[in-house]
Structure 1
Amino acid sequence: MPAIRIVHRTSAPAPEAWSRLTDWQRHGAQVPLTRTIIETEPPTRVGTVFTARTGVAGITFDDRMEVTVWRPPAGASAGLARLEKRGRAVTGWAEIEIRPLSVGGSEVHWREELHLRGFPRLLDPLVAAAGRLLFGRAVVRLLRP
């Protein structure tokens, strides 16, 4: 499985960064040709399920995810959300960790391991590079007010 690791510093305090990065509905707007479908009632918690559906003209694939860890940042403690990818086309996991910084702001650690069914392992480096580019841009955009 390709491993994707992104570290990004922001001036936003950890609770604000958390709120922006865990707004699942906004995620779809950051990825081309994608929309997010929330399948459970708010608020987000362990067991929340949502799907990122990507495609055009009836040709789509779903990245179905379930929240398995939900620990918002509190005081000086980091926040962590873990998502298990349970789709037919995309499997693996993603973690969003937000660490408060003593100098103000926070640091985002986005970790992801994914597998695209039907893609040979030989293409893992290409998938990882595309993922770093795509998710890196999404982090920056999601952190904007």
Structure 2
Amino acid sequence: MSRFRVERAVALPPAEVWRRLTDWPAHGERIPFTRTTVLTPGPNRVGTRFTARTRVGRFGFDDPMEIVRFEPPGPEGRTGVCGLEKHGRVVRGRAVFEVTGTGPGSRVVWREELRLRGVPGVLDPVLAAVGRVVFGRALDGLLGNGTAVG
């Protein structure tokens, strides 16, 4: 299983960061060769399903996901947590992001655990490095080029 973590600090309030991070179609606009389609009508909640479809030429795959935890940041400074399960034939695993208020801004921690079908475990460190770069850039785009923390 490939594991990676991306952190950002931004000068945006937690509610705005949360709104941007839970705009699933916007993720597809930030990840190369990917489009995201929400399959469940209504607002985000536990049980919401969406699929990220990545395609390069004739090669493509779906990354279907479901929200399994959805706790927006609270007005009393409570950390917001969103957990996703990946149920695809090619991509399996989970993602979790946390949004914490830090005075006038916010801190985001994004963690992924992925297994790609057909990719041997010996390549997990390479996948983690690529994941940090790709998801870091996507996160920067979603947040308006946040400042890297680590």
What stretches of structure 1 move > 4 A for 4+ residues in a row?
Answer: none
Give, as a single letter, the amino acid of the residue that structure 2 aligns with 1:94.
A
User: Which runs of 5 or more residues in structure 2 are unaligned?
Assistant: 146-150
Once residues 92 and 100 of structure 1 are traced to their aligned partners in structure 2, the CA distance between those partners, rounded to angstroms, is: 27
Once residues 78 and 41 of structure 2 are traced to their aligned partners in structure 1, the CA distance between those partners, rounded to angstroms, is: 27
Once residues 114 and 51 of structure 2 are traced to their aligned partners in structure 1, the CA distance between those partners, rounded to angstroms, is: 15
Partner of residue 141, structure 1: 141
How far 1:42 moved relative to its partner?
A: 2.0
Once residues 131 and 119 of structure 1 are traced to their aligned partners in structure 2, the CA distance between those partners, rounded to angstroms, is: 14
Q: What is the 5 A alignment of 1:82-101?
A: 82-101=83-102
* Matched pairs, number: 144
Compute the TM-score of the two structures, normalised by the length of structure 2.
Answer: 0.93
Over the aligned positions, Cα root-mean-square deviation in angstroms equals 1.1
Compute the TM-score of the two structures, normalised by the length of structure 1.
Answer: 0.96
How far 1:63 moved relative to its partner?
A: 0.8
Give, as a single letter, the amino acid of the residue that structure 1 aligns with 2:91.
V
- Please say which of residues 76-85 and 53-62 is displaced more in the overlay: 53-62
Once residues 21 and 111 of structure 2 are traced to their aligned partners in structure 1, the CA distance between those partners, rounded to angstroms, is: 13
Q: Does 1:60 align with 2:52?
A: no
Partner of residue 111, structure 2: 111
Deviations 1:32-57 (A, max 9, x none): 11000111002010000001000133
User: Which runs of 5 or more residues in structure 1 are unaligned?
Assistant: none
Partner of residue 10, structure 1: 10
Q: Does 1:19 align with 2:24?
A: no
